[in-house]
Chains A and B, each alone.
Chain A
């Protein structure tokens, strides 16, 4: 039965999450996190674990709370509203893949807040397509030797564990991708945080003869593409939810500001030119929210999701950058100042729009899903 609203329990979760983030993650904290080499706050991470956020999408049988990806999506919206850098969506997406691969030992650590796992899929050619996966995984006596480069891996330098894609076979089909877990401190792994617009910690990972044990394989050798695609779709659906949350927040900030700011003897919000821009932002915010929620729902239901996720990531990306640039415009000078909160969203929107597949990459996925 169609129901586009949150349940009562979800509404309570949303309110408590919003309250928690408002109290514990004000912009002063975010400013500090952005300049911290770690790129996230371990203290906040532990609090999030204590609140059960990391248990959210996992079944009770492994220590989870038996919620759903939809609950994680709801939290992602709140994280987007707060603009808090955190490896939450990454760890949830990778964690579900580990659960499916039978690694309940690792899932238990995730739930306890002791393990951060992030997908490391993107390389020098950052497109989310199988042919862009190049990292060499050469079979050796009891495992694999990894050589190559990953780039634009969010939280890649702080994560304890990386879910890496690579190629273990001889030149096979594009889809012959292998997934492997690599410890963040593995010998031969050089990690460097990139300096990005968003200030969110994307990293470059250099692999020089990094050894991985055979037991660290996720799924079967050369058969990793469907797993990678599912992980990526979950991640992007949650990212779309984050962006939808950011879009909504920026719209609300702008409406509030223009109601307060007086020029020419009246509130800016009384000018039709200002109202029309806000109305356009509202259309995009609504669209981003609906598309993101549908994408999260589709992944929760175990549907393929290529169309829904592609649509959500592309539309939410467009909506978020549309909203932030209009928000800065309607704030005038103050919105352009470093000390004002809007600039966090302005910069983050750009990074989120292009990481994990650009709008065009996702439109390409939509075209393929349409059979074009």
Chain B
């Protein structure tokens, strides 16, 4: 057993830090804080720069222009980026791209993969519909084959990246008669295809998400990914590529809170010296360490050729609920100062912990809700029967 990095991994980590140090301007930092989940113009530039240096495809095989690095290296990379809240190419790079490598046609690989690596192409994930969230397989958006095309009609919701993406990675129904998981297919739909309408949705966390409407959208049959009616299988495969997750975004919130405690004097001494605050912060620090170990375990399993499935659910539940615990601790420690938004001149730590309160709910249900994740742990992990 060994919890330490190899010398090569350590020097790789240093290299990543150096890269960030060189390219993280104050303007980029400000934009990243503002946008949080979307990517602004400077963020796009940064992503393109990473692409030029080969950093975007660090985990991609060499034959597709990547660096072919192992899961631990990828994890180190994601952790360093997360610590500065920097974009890493998201699901296009880490989920859709790898799926295309496995099941995409030769033409699709040539058309999309190199441009994904340079940051020119970005997919918005179009899975969820108004009536199909946790029960995704019940979705109703239809794709009908007509000659050399498919014609798409329907609606997606919470298609977060749609307003700054080039394409939609769409899950639609191709066989309405088959069992619900068996009649779905994946398509690549250009965002500017006639009949696609993107409408903004504002969230209480001040992010932007979208609704996307498809009205007789005609796309070439060649935009079908893999085989028809195998979509559910590909979505599951794509999910398996997403199991590598960094914990440092959560650590960052705790560090903000510790900074506040160190620099705020109450009753003649810094809050960090008050016993109740010390213990609260120390407890959270222990939990952040456990979270780090959960993410390390996933990386290690992938490095060993395994797919962390239950383990990824363990990480996601613990991460999202730890974010909530940090937001709650912030209100105990900061009092009403925890409610001051970034735009208020009196707001401590640029209002980041205020924003955490408004956005932590998202982590608890986006990309699979914690209730569904708990079902996975109980049923797949512990072998308990389905209800």
Q: List the interface of chain A (C-beta within 8 A of B).
A: 122, 125-127, 151-152, 194-198, 202, 204, 262-265, 271-274, 321, 325, 328-329, 332-333, 335-339, 343, 346-347, 350-351, 353-355, 358-361
Chain B residues with CB below 8 A from A337, complex form? 201-204, 209
Residue of A at shortest CB range from B130?
A334
- The answer on a CB contact under 8 Å between A151 and B134 is no
Interface centre among B341, B347, B357 (most CB of A within 10 A): B357
Chain B residues with CB below 8 A from A360, complex form? 276, 332
Residue of B at shortest CB range from A349?
B357
- The answer on a CB contact under 8 Å between A361 and B335 is yes
Contact A339-B331, Cβ < 8 Å, known A195-B343, A198-B339 = no
Closest 5 CB pairs of A and B: A338-B202, A343-B204, A263-B135, A195-B344, A195-B341
Instruction: Render B107-144 as a binary contact track against A, CB cut-off 8 A, 1 for contact.
Output: 00000000000000000000010011111001000000
**B92 an interface residue at 8 Å Cβ cutoff?**
no
Measured in the bound complex, the distance between the Cα atoms of B331 and A146 in whole Å is 31
Chain A residues with CB below 8 A from B131, complex form? 262
- The answer on a CB contact under 8 Å between A333 and B157 is yes
28 A-B Cβ contacts within 8 A? Answer: A151-B346, A195-B341, A196-B336, A196-B344, A197-B354, A198-B339, A204-B346, A262-B131, A263-B132, A264-B134, A265-B138, A271-B371, A325-B324, A329-B361, A333-B128, A333-B158, A336-B204, A336-B205, A337-B203, A338-B202, A339-B201, A339-B202, A347-B358, A354-B331, A354-B335, A354-B338, A354-B339, A360-B332
Interface size counted on chain B using CB atoms at 8 A? 46
**B266 an interface residue at 8 Å Cβ cutoff?**
yes
Measured in the bound complex, the distance between the Cα atoms of B332 and A354 in whole Å is 8
Residue of A at shortest CB range from B341?
A195
Q: Chain B's nearest CB lies how many Å from the CB of A239?
A: 13
Residue of A at shortest CB range from B361?
A328
Checking B204, B335, B344 against A126 with a beta-carbon cut-off of 8 angstroms, the contacting residue is B335
Q: Chain B's nearest CB lies how many Å from the CB of A134?
A: 13
Checking B134, B203, B344, B346 against A332 with a beta-carbon cut-off of 8 angstroms, the contacting residue is B134
**B229 an interface residue at 8 Å Cβ cutoff?**
no
- The answer on a CB contact under 8 Å between A347 and B204 is yes
Checking B133, B335, B387 against A333 with a beta-carbon cut-off of 8 angstroms, the contacting residue is B133
- The answer on a CB contact under 8 Å between B335 and A358 is yes
Chain A residues with CB below 8 A from B252, complex form? none
Q: A194-B344, A347-B204, A359-B332 are in contact. List 14 more A-B contacts (CB 8 A).
A: A126-B335, A151-B336, A194-B340, A202-B336, A202-B339, A263-B135, A264-B135, A271-B387, A329-B364, A333-B133, A333-B158, A335-B361, A347-B358, A358-B336
Chain B residues with CB below 8 A from A125, complex form? 266
Checking A197, A333, A339 against B358 with a beta-carbon cut-off of 8 angstroms, the contacting residue is A197
**B221 an interface residue at 8 Å Cβ cutoff?**
no
**B5 an interface residue at 8 Å Cβ cutoff?**
no
Checking A126, A329, A343 against B365 with a beta-carbon cut-off of 8 angstroms, the contacting residue is A329
Q: Chain A's nearest CB lies how many Å from the CB of B333?
A: 9
Chain B residues with CB below 8 A from A274, complex form? 371
CB within 8 Å of A: which B248-290 residues: 266, 276
- The answer on a CB contact under 8 Å between B201 and A321 is no
- The answer on a CB contact under 8 Å between A354 and B128 is no
CB within 8 Å of A: which B11-31 residues: none
**B103 an interface residue at 8 Å Cβ cutoff?**
no
Q: Chain B's nearest CB lies how many Å from the CB of A290?
A: 23
Instruction: Render B325-366 as a binary contact track against A, CB cut-off 8 A, 1 for contact.
Output: 000100110011111110110110000001001100110111
Measured in the bound complex, the distance between the Cα atoms of B340 and A151 in whole Å is 12
- The answer on a CB contact under 8 Å between A333 and B336 is no
Residue of B at shortest CB range from A318?
B328
**B369 an interface residue at 8 Å Cβ cutoff?**
yes
**B370 an interface residue at 8 Å Cβ cutoff?**
yes
Chain A residues with CB below 8 A from B344, complex form? 194-196
- The answer on a CB contact under 8 Å between A197 and B335 is no
Q: Chain B's nearest CB lies how many Å from the CB of A194?
A: 5
- The answer on a CB contact under 8 Å between B204 and A152 is no
Q: Chain B's nearest CB lies how many Å from the CB of A175?
A: 17
- The answer on a CB contact under 8 Å between A196 and B339 is yes
Measured in the bound complex, the distance between the Cα atoms of B347 and A19 in whole Å is 38
Contact A353-B371, Cβ < 8 Å, known A329-B364, A338-B202 = no
- The answer on a CB contact under 8 Å between B369 and A329 is yes
Residue of A at shortest CB range from B205?
A336
Q: Chain B's nearest CB lies how many Å from the CB of A34?
A: 12
Instruction: Render B185-211 as a binary contact track against A, CB cut-off 8 A, 1 for contact.
Output: 000000000000000011111000100
Interface centre among B209, B340, B374 (most CB of A within 10 A): B340
Instruction: Render B295-335 as a binary contact track against A, CB cut-off 8 A, 1 for contact.
Output: 00000000000000000000000000000100010011001
Q: Chain A's nearest CB lies how many Å from the CB of B346?
A: 7
Measured in the bound complex, the distance between the Cα atoms of B221 and A150 in whole Å is 67
Checking A335, A343, A351, A359 against B339 with a beta-carbon cut-off of 8 angstroms, the contacting residue is A351
Measured in the bound complex, the distance between the Cα atoms of B336 and A151 in whole Å is 9
Residue of A at shortest CB range from B128?
A333
- The answer on a CB contact under 8 Å between B339 and A272 is no
